[in-house]
Amino acid sequence: MAHRTAEALTLLLLSACATRDAENDASIEDDAFVIADAVSSDAAACTLSPPDALPALGGNVVVLDPDAGFQIPAQDGGNPIGVWRVEHVTIFAPPGDFDASASRIAGTAWVIVTGTEVQISLALDVAIASSAGTTTHHDLLALRGSYSRNDPTLHVVPRCALPALDLDFTSGDTSGTLVLTTTGSLGTETLLLRCARTST
């Protein structure tokens, strides 16, 4: 299940120090989920092939309430093959000193699944509001690898990084969702990507 992948993806997290903006009392942090060339020496094998005309996405943050049961939607599987443009990202995070309703997500993201491999790219600006101001995190994820499928899970073995990971998904004719778990600025975060299928 995707929620078991936090330890693997934690190994991919590189965090830069925050810089302070004196005018608006906001800080900016760069959190890069970057796939290093740890397995393949062939740079072409690690290069992503983005689709054209990526739309800007929106997003929101949801606090996981331990008394509300399992809030992250279960996935149903299906046929994942195609080009998917991410239209919305929801970050499910544990309770903390931030205002989820005032926090926002912007950026672009996409997923391509062929019969043999998965490519995922996220470039997100995550603005976390709190009583101290707003902190913006620039989160990047670049992933390419082979996979095996056991609905609703894709078990991905990256070409250019050591840890394997599981992604849970639902795919329909025109839309789908993808769930992955990682460690970010809000602790252990589960990302729900809502996607539009653009080709098969």
Mean pLDDT, residues 170-198? 89
Q: Alpha-carbon distance 126 to 184, whole Å?
A: 10
Residue 68 in domain: yes
Q: Alpha-carbon distance 36 to 46, whole Å?
A: 9
Residue 187 in domain: yes
Residue 11 in domain: yes
Residue 70 in domain: yes
pLDDT band at 47; cut points 50, 70, 90? confident
pLDDT band at 1; cut points 50, 70, 90? very low
Mean pLDDT, residues 130-134? 93
Domain count across the chain = 1
Q: What is the pLDDT of residue 161?
A: 62
Question: Is the pTM value of this prediction over 0.85?
Answer: no
What is the extent of the structural domain holding 152?
2-18+27-36+57-199
Closest CA to 162 of 32, 30, 34, 38: 38
Tokens of 81: 């093959």
Residue 88 in domain: yes
Q: What is the pLDDT of residue 16?
A: 26
Mean pLDDT, residues 14-21? 28
